[in-house]
Amino acid sequence: MSYVDARLHLPILPPLERFIPVVGEVVRKVLLGDEAVSQAHHALTFMPPRIAATSLPPLPAAYREDAERVGRLLDMHMQRSSREWTAHLRQLKRSVKALTERLRRQRTARNHPELTRTLEAELQRLREAPLPNCRRCAELVEACSTLKAAFSRSYGSERTAQLLQTREAIERHVCYSQNSSLDQFLHDVQELLRPS
């Protein structure tokens, strides 16, 4: 059995990949009236840090091509995830608005307990709608595996300190790839949280 230093594990998990669905679910609850707007603003405080291009360490030549490919594919994945969640939340906001307007018009014609039951039934139907499921495409999964395999082959042939620096460089480049998607998602969420 061989020992592998856990510090050399190369996770390719950009924080935005988890941030989008977490914030999306909180905003969804806000739009459905299950949470206060302050909860969404609180969730936004946990946004991933932006990585400045000037702070990116150079990637070693042996990993550059694979790391850049993973970064491009992750950027496309994050953009798709952001678009899907934003589209889902916009549709939900339109549905809730249409429902409340319809019930407001019916309020004079019906008694209030029946309207309350109708409102709750419709909101429950909206709550049960499936959430966006943004899985990584096969190409991204394969690219991540290739990069991890290339990195793991270096174990034992390069100094541990050098491998740790390489791992950090790769992780920073991966996180840098999410900046534009993060900015767009934050803009869209803030727009959705504005009263209409």
Band of the pLDDT at 1, cuts 50, 70, 90?
very low
Q: Is 82 left (phi over 0), alpha (psi -120 to 50) or beta?
A: alpha
pLDDT at 37: 94
Domain ranges of the chain: 13-47+65-193
Query: What is the pLDDT, as a whole number, of residue 186?
Result: 93
Q: Is the pLDDT of residue 65 over 50?
A: yes
Higher pLDDT, residue 13 or 95: 95
- Confidence label for 12 from pLDDT (cuts 50, 70 and 90): confident
Is the CB of residue 96 less than 8 Å from the CB of residue 126? yes
**Number of Cβ within a 10 Å radius of residue 92:** 18
Return the CA Rg of the chain.
Answer: 22
CA distance 152 to 63: 11
Do 95 and 126 contact (CB within 8 A), yes or no?
yes
Q: What is the pLDDT of residues 17-63, one digit of tens each?
A: 999 999 999 999 999 999 999 999 999 999 888 888 888 899 999 99
User: Considering the entire predicted model, what is its pTM?
Assistant: 0.86
